[in-house]
Structures are given as structure tokens and as C-alpha cells.
Amino acid sequence: MTDHQVPDISVVIPTYNRSRELDRTLHTLARQDLPRDRYEVIVADDGSSDDTRTVVESHAGALHLGYVYQEDLGFRAGQARNLGAAQARGRLLVFLDSGTLASRRLLTGHLSAHEGGGRAVIGYVFGYDHDVSGRVRRDDLGDTPDELIERFVRAGRHLDMREPSYRSLGDALEEYAAPWIFFWTANVSVAADDFRALGGFDPDFVGWSGEDVELGRRLYEKGLTFVLAREAASVEIPHERDLDALRPSYDRHALLTLRKHVDPVVEVSTVCWAHELHPRLAELRAATATRFDLARSWPETGTTGPGRSTVLFGADCLAAVAGGDLCLEPDPRLAEEARRRVPGIEILPLYGFRTLLEPDAFDHCLLAPSLRAYPRWALELLEAEAARIGRRVSWLPARATGRHEER
């Protein structure tokens, strides 16, 4: 490729000490059905100490290759991608993970999906699954990616873990309220101009997960249409993930996303989708059932009013205090029961753990003790929201004593 030629596609691959997997990825990219002068590959090294650069150089004869390196300062895949994208000349940026085996039509599939412009394209990833039983076995990797994909489709095995969601939507991601939650950089693409207009991946995300979905949200806010490109298929080389070890990073980044995008749809999709993956949704459901029983058994004490400008978190607050300007209740059954028992106060649903109320809208936020049934990560979200909308936050005690526990 001469210096003045502009490729259609720049493939950007972040990597860290995965030279063996990267080698396989580059081999499959050298066998694309797209002519070689129409694409380039840029490896963005996040501080590897193995032979990654040597492996990249070994493919120089088969690919138009670039290599960029940043110091190892922790898991900074987003920043590595930004570094690679800064060197990219292609009109379209395709982001793949090292350890992703590209089908022969992966790049043409992305190109076709971008016809008409204004799109964020999500490729299909076979074998990507947090459940070990859903991952590809290493003894499968003797076949080409296309042979593997044909076999997986025929057997209905090792499908993309997002397949149930895709199927329920009829692949029409543009009709979904939160299509950005599917934007995982194992295999996605976006126009280089759109990527750069938004400043790329947010550098505040340091650690595993979240930076790709957060970029997807900004692409959505920019007005891009999200498209699933099944033809742009790939296979993930299996590798171990310690989800327990990774969960704190995920939770931290979920909170970061919520702070950056205050929107109920962002909140629900971030919390529910994420914890279903990790599998935290079951934990939340169990806690909700426990909380329901606790809330219904709350003794009616008829204590004095909570003071001026107060918002109540949890309908069972209404059985313990007289008054309040507003009640927020996440459980529709408890909300309906409270409306019957305490007419006259506005009771609004609390979707997930965020509201549309303005910062410092109330003098006091009072939290019901039944909410303590939620897991610690959920309580942190609740307390953070209470602190955002109220100048003072306190918990009602386990039994009404007239004294509140300040936070």
C-alpha cells in the first residue's frame, strides 16, 4: 500500500502478552476475501513483555501492518485502541480482540453493513461465553474459522452469548431501547470520522469492561443506527476468565457509566444486563423477594413527620413516618399497596437505582430499612442516588425508635 492510498478499513487490535493468540488472529486476517490493498491492521500493544512485537513483524509480508506501544500502567485496552486508531488511515475502524479468529468474509461483512453510513456495526462472535460450557474447545482450533462456524451453526452450539437477545429482537437492533449494550469490541466497527468526533474510548475506564459499551452509548446519542452483521463472523479462542476477580472492575465501571449518562434506560440496561451476565440478576431477584417480606411486616408506629422537603426511599417509610414530599418505590406491588394505605402522597417508581430528580432537590432523603436486603453493590447505588438528590441522607432503624441513622 502506497502512502497516498487510503484503505477502506483499518483493523485495530489491542493486545497484552497474548502473542500466541495474536499470531492466530493475524493469520486469519491475512486470508480475507477483501483485497489486501483495501485494508490495514494495527496492533496496539498495552505494554506486553513477551514476543508480541516479533510476532507482528513476522506477518509483515502478508499484511499491511502497523504497531503501536504504550507503557504497561495496568489494563488500558481503551487507551490502546485510541492509540491504534490515531495511526489508522482507513475510513472504517474495525475493532477486534487478540484471540479473535476472523472468518474470510469478516471485513467485507462489516463494509456491506455500513452501506448508507451513519451506523455502528456489531459482528457475530462464536464461542464468546462467560459460561465455560459454552466456550470453544482448544482441540477444535485445527479447523479454519469458516469450518468451525459452519459446524457450530449446524449443531446449534457455541453461538454468540447475545444470540437469545438478537433472536428476540428479530435482529432489528435499531428497535431496541438500548442497542449500545451489545457493542462489545471483540468484533465491532464504526466510521473513523464518527469515532474521532466523539474522542474515542473514554480514558477514565481503566480495568476490564465497560469502555466499549460506554462508547456505544455516545454513538447512540450521536444518532447512529446499530446494526447486527452476522456475515462479519468470528470465533473466540478460548481463554480463562476469573469472573469473581473481574467483577469489582465491572461494578466500578458500571457506576462510572451511570454517572456519565444519567438516564433511566442507561441505568436499567447497565445494571440488569450486566448483572445477568455475571450472574447477579438472580442475586438481586432473591434480595427483592426478601425485601418485599420485610417491607410488609414493618410495624405502623405513626411517628412524627420527617421534616420539610423530604423524599422517602421505600414505601414502608410511610408506615413509620407521617408525611414526606415524595416516595420512591422500586417494587410495583409495594407501591400499589402504599397508594391504598396512604393516599395523598405521590409515589413514583424507582427504576433500578437512579431518578430524574435534580441534584440537591430535597433537604432530606430517608431510606427504608427493608432496602438493606439488597446486596452491597445495590445499596451503594441507592445511597449514591440519595446523596445526589438530597443534602442529608439517613436510614430508618430496623425498628422505629425515633432516631435515624445518618450516612
Q: How far is the C-alpha of 388 from the C-alpha of 224, rounded, in Å?
A: 31
Q: How far is the C-alpha of 80 from the C-alpha of 180, rounded, in Å?
A: 21
Q: Is 332 helix (H, G, I), strand (E, B) or coil?
A: helix
In sequence order, what DSSP letters do the residues of 138-154 get, joined into one string?
GGGTTS-HHHHHHHHHH
Q: What percent of the chain has pLDDT over 90?
A: 57
Q: How far is the C-alpha of 194 from the C-alpha of 399, rounded, in Å?
A: 55
CB atoms within 10 A of CB 294: 18
- The per-residue pLDDT for range 298-337, each reduced to its tens digit, is 766 656 666 669 999 999 898 888 778 899 988 888 888 8
Span 180-195, average pLDDT: 96
Span 156-163, average pLDDT: 91
Q: How far is the C-alpha of 110 from the C-alpha of 100, rounded, in Å?
A: 15
The pTM assigned to this predicted structure is 0.73
Q: Is 113 helix (H, G, I), strand (E, B) or coil?
A: helix
DSSP state of 38: G
Q: How far is the C-alpha of 109 from the C-alpha of 100, rounded, in Å?
A: 16
Residue whose C-alpha is closest to residue 299's, from 287, 316, 314: 316
Q: What is the pLDDT of residue 401?
A: 38
What amino acid occupies position 244?
D
DSSP state of 47: S
Q: Is the pLDDT of residue 106 over 80?
A: yes
Span 221-225, average pLDDT: 97
Joined together, the cell numbers standing for residue 172 give: 432489528
Q: Is 281 helix (H, G, I), strand (E, B) or coil?
A: helix
Q: Is 350 helix (H, G, I), strand (E, B) or coil?
A: coil
Residue 30, class by beta-carbon neighbours within 10 Å (0-12 exposed, 13-18 middle, 19+ buried)?
A: middle
In sequence order, what DSSP letters do the residues of 161-201 get, joined into one string?
TTHHHHHHTTT-GGGSS-GGGG--TTEEEEEHHHHHHTTSS
Q: Is the pLDDT of residue 207 over 80?
A: yes
> How many Cα neighbours within 13 Å face the side chain of 215?
28
Q: Is the pLDDT of residue 202 over 70?
A: yes
- The per-residue pLDDT for range 21-55, each reduced to its tens digit, is 999 999 999 999 999 999 999 999 999 999 999 99
Q: How far is the C-alpha of 158 from the C-alpha of 85, rounded, in Å?
A: 30
Q: How far is the C-alpha of 298 from the C-alpha of 307, rounded, in Å?
A: 21
Assign 287 a pLDDT band (cuts: 50, 70, 90). confident
CB atoms within 10 A of CB 276: 12
Q: What is the pLDDT of residue 95?
A: 98
Q: Hey, which residues does 362 pair with through a beta bridge?
A: 390
Q: Which residues does 278 contact at the CB level (< 8 Å), separation at least 6?
A: 130, 243, 247, 250
Q: Is the pLDDT of residue 380 over 50?
A: yes
Q: What is the pLDDT of residue 132?
A: 57
Helix segments in 181-312, DSSP class H? 192-197, 211-221, 243-260, 264-268, 274-277, 281-296
Dihedral of the CA atoms 239, 192, 201, 67 (nearest 10)? 60
Calculate the average pLDDT of the chain. Answer: 87
Span 174-198, average pLDDT: 94
Q: What percent of the chain has pLDDT over 70?
A: 86
